[in-house]
Structure 1
Amino acid sequence: MPETAERIEISQLGVLEAVLFAAGNPITAAELARILQLDVLGTQNLVAELKSELDRRHSGLTIRQVAGGYQLATRPEAFAIVERLSEVVDRKISAPTMETLSIVAFKQPITKAEIEQIRGVRVERALQKLLELELIAEVGRKNVLGRPILYGTTETFLRCFGINTLEDLPELPTTEEAAAGLDAEQMELFQEVQQLQSQNDADTEEQEAPMAHDDMPPAE
């Protein structure tokens, strides 16, 4: 008969590594604490210890804090090799779709019409692609005429871009900083967009303003 394999005692670090690997998606400290039957502080210390251990042994994996939780992930230095796994399935986002995603990320919640005003082109296909990839989702309706759909980013977006919260997004340049780098033709277009934005803001305020007393219908 074959010899029975010797049982290996797994350390707490090993158990934590196995849980993170099995979870795949980010998992919060509270959820890890419940699984490991530890307190939250002890769990956070264990996560930090495992991250240091992975660094010490030059592992191809690391722990990153993303979307409000911890995730076992590929180390950035290994991306060039690991991404070959996905060469058979092309899930790259086109530049126009990435532009639309950027607008949603920085301006959310935002409507389709507002995105199109910023980009200057129609965005149906880009929005559909982002919805299919679950990078954005419908988050409500804007309180204006027609009640258009509002779009915002998802936890999948945070995971894909390695962001813990939306507050970690980089600061956008100010209007003055953006305008400083434009040539004459770009500046003319920029000013036209600014005028359109001002007009849109004025129209929105008019739609949202309550009716004046004189405009109210007579009581029945």
Structure 2
Amino acid sequence: MDYTAAIQALLYVAGDDGTTVDVLAQALEMDIAPVRQTIAKLKANLAADTTQGLVILEHGKIIKLATKPEFSAAIQSFLSGNVGQHLSQAALEVLAIIAYQQPITRLEIDDVRGVNSSGALQTLIARQMIQETGRKEVPGRPILYATSDYFLDYFGLTDLKQLPPLTEVEGTDDTDGADVNLFFDKFQNILNDDNNDQGV
């Protein structure tokens, strides 16, 4: 196994939450020292390679992948325009879940969708549709996500109470166990309204 490539892949999967050397070492069944050395090598290689658009950032014990600052203008240009046209189905699903269950952690979103949502969260943060609102007071203190003011402005909402109401799930108003389609179908209403307003 190419451990440099494996670490890069794990950092990608970890998404905006990032991860720690200890977690990487455990996942790769390696000692911490060689993992640190491999991360340092990967970090230097990405920073020096002009054909790569990513860098490794370290904040305390947290390590994560990020885009290089020199590409910020191109990224902003790419992200501009209609959300429905440029967001993947996965990102729209995650946005819908956050809109209805915020503040919410990535693992809680994953539980609803049944798949990892790191990539979709990174996309939504980059497009300023969601934001970090603190950390949940549980072991590991995972990041909490919520919709942003830009989300409200984009969809012409003045308050989250204007979101289409969720129907009761299995005879109860508790939506913790709701299927992702319930959130997405309701959210699709405002997405369609927005597209119609823009002539999409």
Please give the TM-score of this superposition, normalised by the length of structure 2.
Answer: 0.43
Structure number with bigger Rg: 1
Please give the TM-score of this superposition, normalised by the length of structure 1.
Answer: 0.40
